[in-house]
Chain A
Amino acid sequence: MEDMEVEKNSEGSSSSNNNNSSISNEFDLETYINNYTGFTKIYRLIFIAENCKPLEVEAYNMALKEVQKTPNLELYNNIINKSHGILEFDPSYIENLSKKNSLQLDKLEQDLNTAKSNMVKDSIRFAQNDLGEFYYKLGDHQNALKCFIRTRDYCTTSKHVLAMCFNIIKLGVDNQNYTHAPSYIAKAEQSPDLDSASNAKLRSVNGLLNLDSSRFKLAARKFIETPFEQSNVFSDIISPQDIAYYGGLCALATFDRNELKKKVIDDPMFKNYLELVPELRELINDFYNTKYGSCLKYLDKMKPILLLDIHLYKHVESLYQKIRSKALIQYFSPYQSVDMNIMAGAFNTTVIQLEREISKLIMDGDIQARIDSHNKRLYARKADQRTTTFEKTVQVGSDFQNSSNSLLLRLEMLNNNISTVSNRKDTDRSNWEHSLHHPHQMFNLFNNKF
């Protein structure tokens, strides 16, 4: 408890960190964004600019600078439109670039045609690839995808196949559209000369894919399995810090204590990632050592930064919810009864708030306990084996009787050839339409009685 008090004081100033204005102090846009290259850098900048007012100007300016390194006009227009007045159009730039682009496109298509007429597989693949690459840079993802998929027929070595897979996967990640990715990831994983860098890349993309569809446990596994690469080889998709964040948070939300210890805290490979984000490492250790107060404080502090992440932002709430519930469950697990005032203190929350959270967990069956709302205490519930056994037995018995009885009667009906048949075939007996108005007219029973 004393530790916590100290921490509370030292961090008292930043406790209002949901406020955007303090983000710019804690969050260094420049160092963050320099982890990335390629289009993801631009997309991330735009995302940050849209979601964080204080960083808007800086981010838009950076994005503009980046986009001017590429031939992508569409994105250029997009950024300027979105910036509503911060940035201005440069007509001469647009004119020059569009001329240059069409020239380049012509040249590449010409190359492709020459290659095709020469019938050399490798050069066709090369030309096709170049064209795809250029389309990708232009932002024409559909044509890029077409070109990349076409190279498939001209791949001769497994290296080529791998390159093709990565191109397609990259497209998917940039669009946040993962329909093609799983099959190409599987394909790439089967490739015989998979070096550790591409392996890392595949794992992390696989993690992203699972994160996107909210399969957090799988995502955590994939991120944790990602080999650590010193050189930032996949900066056009994801940074090592991201892997630490994504993997760590997903693991925290879904792993049990043993798994957390074995696979996250003691894992030699993932340790490297955690070193990159010391707060995250502290946070996970705190969680493991049941110092929930400081753990949750770290999490709160991290939240505004995580909300600026293009992949993670939509899952932050549900991940946080999961982590919190897990912390509550673990906190209570060794006790017979707990004073909710103390518990609320440990979780930096009010008793009323805590009561609401716990009652939800109890109703979902995650905590076996009952709340004494009057005295603000939480009591563990002992399962009465005898009673439950009796209840179950009686239930099974009556179910069996019901089902056997109706089964016997149905058999008897079949034996006697009695069944509902269409009116046309059997008019004399089962004239069921007649019977319809019978119950209708006669029983005005359930309308007014209640």
Chain B
Amino acid sequence: MDSFVLDAQNPNPKNLKNLLKYEEQLERQLVSLDNILGALDVRNHSLGQLLVLKAKGADQNKNRNTFIDQCNNFFRNCNFEQVRIAPAQFSSLSKFYTEALFEVRQPIRGVAILKEALNILSDNKPTSNLTPIHTDFLQLCILSKCYHQALPLIESNITHINPEQSSIAIKDILCYFYYSGIIFTALKKYKKAIEAFKFVITAPASALSAIAVEAYKKYLIVNLIQYGTTQHFPRCTPAVVQRNIKSHCKPYTEFVQSFSNGSLNDIINKSSSGAEFFQKDNNWGLVKLSIKSIHRRNIKKLTQTFMTLSISDIAEKVNIPKAKAEQFVLKMIEEGEIFATINQKDGMVTFDECFEDFSGPAILNDLDRNINNIVSLESKIKDMDEKISLSNGYLKKLASGKGTQLSQYEDPMEDIN
């Protein structure tokens, strides 16, 4: 092991790659790992430390608290250049770290640390390049309920991945979008959640992934909460997913069906008959929310139909008890979902139309941001287009296509001659 320490301390960066060959050896030396770690300096010998820590992470009997402390120190102080040599090892370390935090039930300790670490494998562009660390970060955010920490990240549009640089795999990508869907749902940003879940099921696939199945379940129910119906599969959904996914979530599709044609009783029946499944999948709360959303949607519809309406009429039309109706209306007013005033003296609710008049600096800012987004998106698309039109495969195809066309033209000429 001394040779490893010596190699790790070697200041010549060219030799650093040699370190990787010690990986397996290290995993057999579990007892002395702490000593080796002590011999290395975190800033100058980052790669060595990374390998040692990774080997330690694989050990099931490690002292988790010390491991977490060691990792914290490493993540804070390591040398990015060195770490980038071994992206796969770094990703697994971050996985071990996340797992350890979960096992000691202190996920919040890792949120800030991993947020910084996002930069390491993403070329300092964490909002456009996806890395495995992103996935772990989101997982910690969910476990510690620090959704706001993840929000800026998941609201940005990620369009790049680089497997060589970050060793990212399909599971990381799917989980990343699955987790962002969960965070959006928890923050009640249902439209964005739907987009995130949609990506999971439309990701390229030649087999059905369990992550896609879970995402599809949530996709169905969040759609119910937001729109009260469900959408068809997006056009780009892989055939294998379209064919097979429904058989994995039968109670869900039945529940969705009851929404489109059933009365409230029918919906509640369906939800309770599938309750066991929903609870097992931890989606029971969402199912209950989706049932509540029916009343909200109905009340919202009333605002478009009536200018004034008494509370008892609302209760009758939406089919809920009178006391509850007032609560519902009050809550919806508070949340800005409807614009109305309640007159308790004669029990009348006056509905106003939507006040959003699309003027003022806020909306201007919003539009400006969106336009900028689209402009940058356009340049990305142009890049992609250029890349494709210069790629070998495309040119080859183009050339062969032209060849046949030309020969078609040439043939009749020969006949004439």
User: Which of B207, B211, B284, B377 counts the most chain A CB atoms within 10 A?
Assistant: B207
**Interface assignment of B10: CB less than 8 Å from any CB of chain A:** no
Do residues B161 and A413 form an inter-chain contact, with CB atoms below 8 A?
yes
A370 beta carbon closer than 8 Å to chain B: yes
Q: Is the CB of B279 within 8 A of A371?
A: no
Which residues of chain A from 410 to 427 have any CB-CB distance to chain B below 8 Å in the complex? 410-414, 416, 418-423
Q: Tell me which residues from 284 to 300 in chain B have a Cβ below 8 Å from any Cβ of chain A.
A: 284-286, 288-289
- Tell me if A258 is interfacial: C-beta within 8 Å of chain B: no
Whether A119 is near chain B, meaning CB under 8 Å from some CB there, is no
**Interfacial chain A residues near B186, Cβ < 8 Å:** 445-446, 449
A401 located at the interface, meaning its Cβ lies under 8 Å from any Cβ of chain B in the complex: yes
Contact partner, B195, options A406, A413, A422, A436, Cβ 8 Å: A406
Q: How far is the CA of A447 from the CA of B284 in the complex (A)?
A: 5
- Checking B174, B313, B317, B354 against A420 with a beta-carbon cut-off of 8 angstroms, the contacting residue is B174
Residue A404 at the B interface, CB < 8 A? yes
Q: Provided the pairs A359-B306, A370-B307 are in contact, do residues A412 and B171 lie with their beta carbons within 8 angstroms?
A: no
Q: Give complex CA distance A404, B199 in Å.
A: 12
What class of interface size applies to chain A in its complex with B? Answer: 35 or more
Q: Once the chains bind, are A421 and B161 in contact (CB under 8 Å)? A: no
Contacts of B209 in A (CB 8 A): 420, 430, 432
- A410–B236 contact, CB under 8 A? yes
Are the C-beta atoms of B198 and A386 separated by less than 8 Å?
A: no
Query: Which of B18-26, B36-44, B68-76, B152-160 lies at the binding interface?
Result: B152-160
Q: Is A262 an interface residue (CB 8 A)?
A: no
User: In residues 368-385 of chain B, which contact A (Cβ within 8 Å)?
Assistant: 370, 373-374, 377, 380-381, 384
Tell yes or no: B308 within 8 A of A by CB. Answer: yes
Q: How far is the CB of A269 from chain B (nearest CB, A)?
A: 43
The answer to whether B211 and A409 have CB atoms under 8 Å apart is no
B377 contact from A370, A372, A391, A401, Cβ within 8 A: A401
A445 and B170: CB pair below 8 A? no
Q: Choose among A370, A400, A413, A439 the residue that contacts B203 (Cβ–Cβ < 8 A).
A: A413
A99 at the interface (CB under 8 A from B): no
Instruction: Give Cα A409 to B358, complex, Å.
Output: 32
Which of A362, A372, A373, A387 has most B Cβ within 10 Å? A373
Query: A363 near B: Cβ within 8 Å?
Result: yes
Given A406-B195, A409-B159, A442-B102: A420 and B169 within 8 A (CB)?
A: no
The answer to whether A435 and B210 touch across the interface, beta carbons within 8 angstroms, is yes
Q: A408-B159, A413-B161 are in contact. Are A449 and B285 (CB under 8 A)?
A: yes
Does B113 belong to the interface (CB within 8 Å)?
no
Contact of B212 among A401, A420, A433 (CB under 8 A): A420
- A401 & B374 in contact (Cβ 8 Å cutoff): yes
Tally of contact residues, B, Cβ under 8 A: 76
Residue A320 at the B interface, CB < 8 A? no
Q: Select which of A370, A400, A418, A447 is within 8 A of B305 by beta carbon.
A: A370
Interface of A is mostly: helix
Write out the residue numbers on chain B whose beta carbons fall within 8 Å of the beta carbon of A444: 282
Chain B residues with Cβ under 8 A from A405's Cβ? 157-159, 377
Query: Once the chains bind, are A450 and B306 in contact (CB under 8 Å)?
Result: no
Q: Which residues of B contact A406 (CB under 8 A)?
A: 195, 198-199, 202
Q: What is the 8 Å Cβ interface bit string for chain A, positions 360-374, against chain B (1 contact, 0 not)?
A: 001100000011111
Interface residues of B in 173-207 (CB under 8 A from A): 173-175, 178, 182, 185-186, 195, 198-199, 202-207
Interface of chain B residues 261 through 310 with chain A (CB within 8 A): 279, 281-286, 288-289, 301, 304-310
Chain A nearest Cβ from B305, distance in angstroms: 4
Chain A CB within 8 A of B142 CB = yes
> Inside 8 A of B205's CB, which chain A residues have their CB?
419-421
A411 / chain B contacts, CB cutoff of 8 Å: 384
A442, B139: Cβ atoms closer than 8 Å: yes
A450 touches B289 (CB 8 A): yes
- Is B143 interfacial (CB-CB < 8 Å)? yes
Q: Which of A374, A398, A430, A439 contacts B308 (CB 8 A)?
A: A374
Inter-chain contact A387/B356, CB cutoff 8 Å: yes
Nearest CB on B from A437, distance (A)? 9
Q: Which of B159, B211, B306, B381 contacts A436 (CB 8 A)?
A: B211
A390, A391, A397, A439 pick with most chain B CB within 10 angstroms: A439
Q: What separation, in Å, do the CA atoms of A416 and B387 have in the docked complex?
A: 13
Given contacts A373-B307, A450-B288, contact A422 B173 (CB under 8 A): no
Is A31 on the interface with B (CB-CB < 8 A)? no
Closest A-B pairs by Cβ, 9 of them: A420-B205, A419-B204, A436-B210, A374-B308, A450-B285, A390-B358, A422-B207, A446-B285, A429-B169
* 12 pairs from A and B in contact (CB 8 Å cutoff): A359-B306, A359-B317, A374-B348, A387-B358, A406-B195, A413-B170, A419-B206, A443-B143, A445-B186, A445-B285, A450-B288, A450-B289
